[in-house]
Homo-oligomer: A and B are copies of this chain.
C-alpha cells in the first residue's frame, strides 16, 4: 500500500450497496450448485473485500477478521483467500500482494487489472492474452497455458485529472 489507504476498485463512482449483497447471494448460489462450502470465515472475507471495494493485503483482512471475532493468525486469512481465489470469487493482484473481490462473478474469465501507481486504485476487466502473441509463442514452444496474470500499471483517470490541475 502506497499510503494509509487501500486501493480503490474501479475508477467510476457507483452505488455500492446492492452490489455487495448481490455478489454474496451469487456466491452462495454458486457454492450450493457446485458443492463448495462457503463457511463463515470465507463468507466474511468475501464480504469484507466486497464492502471495502479495494485491494486489501492479507494482513489488513486479518485485522478485519479479528474485529469480527474470527481467528487472527495469518493462516486463517490465507486459507480463506486461497479458497476464494481458487474458485474465482477473489483475485490476487501480484503486483500489490493484495486481493480483490471479483467483479465479474458469473463468468469463467481471464481477468486483467489496471492498477494506478499513484493511488493504487484497481479496476478489473477481461483479457484474452492467449489469443495474441503470447498464445502464439506458447503454441510454438509447446507450453500449455493454464492461467494468465495480466496487470497494467499506469495512471487512473482521477489521478490524471489531479495532475492536470
Residues of chain A touching chain B, judged by Cβ–Cβ distance below 8 Å, are: 11-12, 94-95, 112, 114, 116-117, 123, 125-134, 137-138, 141-157, 160
Please name 14 pairs of A and B residues whose Cβ atoms are closer than 8 Å in the assembled complex, sorted by A: A94-B95, A112-B129, A112-B137, A114-B138, A123-B141, A125-B137, A126-B137, A129-B150, A142-B160, A143-B154, A143-B157, A147-B153, A148-B152, A149-B153
- Which of B95, B126, B134, B155 contacts A146, CB < 8 Å? B155
Oligomer: number of copies: 2
List chain B residues, Cβ under 8 A from A156: 141-143
**Which residue of the partner chain B has the closest CB to A94?**
B94
Pick the residue among B12, B123, B130, B132 that contacts A128 (CB under 8 A).
B132
Decide if A144 touches B154 in the complex (CB within 8 Å).
Answer: yes
Which residue in B114, B138, B143 is a CB contact (below 8 Å) of A145?
B114
| B112 engages A133 (CB within 8 Å) | yes
Contacts A143-B114, A148-B152, A153-B146 given; indicate if A127 touches B132 (C-beta within 8 A): yes
Interface pair B153/A148, CB less than 8 Å apart: yes
Across the A-B interface, the 4 shortest Cβ-Cβ residue pairs: A142-B157, A94-B94, A125-B137, A146-B154
